[in-house]
Chains A and B, each alone.
Chain A
């Protein structure tokens, strides 16, 4: 095994450990959400979807923002590690966005009376998801590594530009979606048990993001090393 492949394997293995720790943490979040936090009087048990939906949204938007930053830095520095990180973060971001876009409608149905509504927050989020699915399809379609990195960096930066609009969309447009209750200028408006559970869940999801990105990044290193070894033969 080449040194690059060995380094990739080490990073991927660390990612697996972090990912497994985070999944154990997720079980802890379930215990907190079901046993520790009170049942919200107006929304009932469905409100507890909040402890998955919000952290998944946080990780998806964090992942896509980091894709944009890494892509911009790639166009400036031409360091392949930045391109590899952007690709890894985009793929993991799509997984978290899938969680956000499935738990959201499941929560919306009993509370709003509909699975989906075409308001600004939901529509922009769906577009962001499709944009990054397109980003991954573009990467799969372009075989030249330099071109692939350049083209996808531009899409990654454009995707990142949607993130602040999504966060501010609940202020800029009339929407059914609630306004932020934690990431806002004033203090979080949540009972302490709910806030603590949410913060634990956000930490667990962030560790899972780091674990999955490490695993995906290490895998990419191993696959690139295998391709280079194949070309050399």
Chain B
């Protein structure tokens, strides 16, 4: 990467962690409800 390109990889890392945490977290919540419903 050329030296004059902005060095802001930390923001990329933050976004690439936050997005799957929200989506996988939501899917996990639905999954738990599904398992609980199946037990009932």
Contacts and interface: CB of A to CB of B under 8 A. Distances in A.
Contacts, number: 95
Chain A interface residue bracket vs B:
35 or more
A214 to B, nearest CB: 10
A103 B7 contact: no
Interface residues of B, number: 28
A157 interface: no
Main secondary structure of the interface of A (DSSP, over half): helix
A132 to B, nearest CB: 14
Contact of B12 (A9, A19, A45, A95): A45
Interface in B1-37: 1-2, 4-9, 11-12, 14-16, 18-20, 22-24, 26-27, 30-31, 33-34, 37
A222 B15 contact: no
Contacts of A109: 11
A107 B37 contact: no
| Max chain B Cβ within 10 angstroms of own Cβ: one of A16, A44, A219 | A44
Contact of B24 (A16, A23, A110): A23
A45 B37 contact: no
Contact of A223 (B9, B27, B37): B37
A69 interface: no
A46 interface: yes
Given A9-B38, A45-B8, A45-B11, 11 more contacts: A23-B20, A23-B27, A42-B6, A44-B1, A46-B8, A46-B9, A46-B12, A103-B18, A110-B8, A212-B27, A215-B31
